[in-house]
């Protein structure tokens, strides 16, 4: 059975944890659950149709987000991005993730480590039909550089418990602050 099988979500009801495919929660590792990148992409793609009609996400004046679904294995967020909407350089506290753009496009700038050399920045455009997934060590920023709003679905596993924000100084990555989310919804 595919990871997305059985994830049939009518619009615009809020999905329940039971709606997350059972296969997404079966890969137990060291007492907590880890879900593969391809599985995260499949869940994000399955939620894309629901995201299009999610309340408050059409024509945003500022960046908006809402948690769509959470299970013990993962959580999914819908994020609306007005033109110029952005989130600064950050990680996901060790959680792996996937991003699927449903409308518009987003620019992701990632910190890439190449051996012992200083990290460099790499930029990718994320468009509908071109999802990305990343490991728990991924550091990136995301911005809507376009002239129209963008809408995306973000899936993280395990669920977010913290995010650290960074800056690049003289080719070095420096942590600025960490936000912790014990038992409360995070801000992706």
6 in a domain, yes or no?
A: no
Q: Which of 123-133 are b and which e, b meaning 16 or more Cβ less than 10 Å from the residue's Cβ?
A: eeebeeeebbb
Give me the pLDDT at residue 166, please: 96
Total domains in the chain come to 1
Give me the pLDDT at residue 179, please: 93
176 in a domain, yes or no?
A: yes
Give me the pLDDT at residue 100, please: 98
Give me the pLDDT at residue 115, please: 81
11 in a domain, yes or no?
A: no
Domain that holds residue 59: 17-180
Q: What is the CATH number of the domain that holds 124?
A: 2.60.120.10
101 in a domain, yes or no?
A: yes
Question: pLDDT under 50 in the chain at which residues?
Answer: 1-33
Of the candidates 44, 85, 88, 93, the one whose C-alpha atom is nearest the C-alpha of residue 68 is 44
Give me the pLDDT at residue 16, please: 44
State the CB neighbour count (10 A cutoff) for residue 179. Answer: 14
Strand partners, 50: none
4 in a domain, yes or no?
A: no
How far CA 69 is from CA of 110, 115, 152, 180, 185, in Å, comes to 26, 37, 14, 19, 11
Give me the pLDDT at residue 35, please: 62
9 in a domain, yes or no?
A: no
Report how far residue 97's alpha carbon sits from residue 74's, in angstroms, rounded to the nearest whole number.
9
Do residues 3 and 39 touch, judged by C-beta distance below 8 A?
Answer: yes
């Amino acid at each position: 059975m595919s990871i997305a099988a059985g994830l049939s979500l009518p619009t615009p009801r809020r999905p329940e944890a039971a709606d997350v495919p059972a296969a997404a929660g079966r890969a137990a590792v060291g007492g907590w659950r880890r879900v593969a990148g391809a599985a995260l992409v499949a869940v994000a793609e399955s939620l894309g149709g629901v995201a299009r009609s999610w309340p408050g996400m059409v024509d945003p004046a500022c960046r908006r987000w809402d948690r769509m679904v959470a299970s013990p294995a993962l959580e999914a967020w819908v994020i609306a991005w007005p033109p110029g909407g952005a989130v600064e350089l950050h990680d996901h506290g060790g959680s792996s993730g996937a991003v699927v753009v449903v409308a518009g496009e987003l620019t992701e700038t990632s910190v890439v480590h190449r051996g012992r050399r200083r990290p460099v920045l790499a930029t990718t455009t994320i468009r509908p039909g071109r999802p990305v997934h990343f490991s728990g060590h991924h550091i990136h920023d995301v911005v809507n550089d376009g002239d129209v709003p963008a809408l995306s679905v973000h899936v993280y596993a395990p669920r977010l418990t913290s995010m650290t924000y960074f800056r690049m100084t003289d080719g070095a990555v420096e942590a600025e602050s960490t936000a912790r989310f014990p038992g409360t919804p995070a801000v992706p």
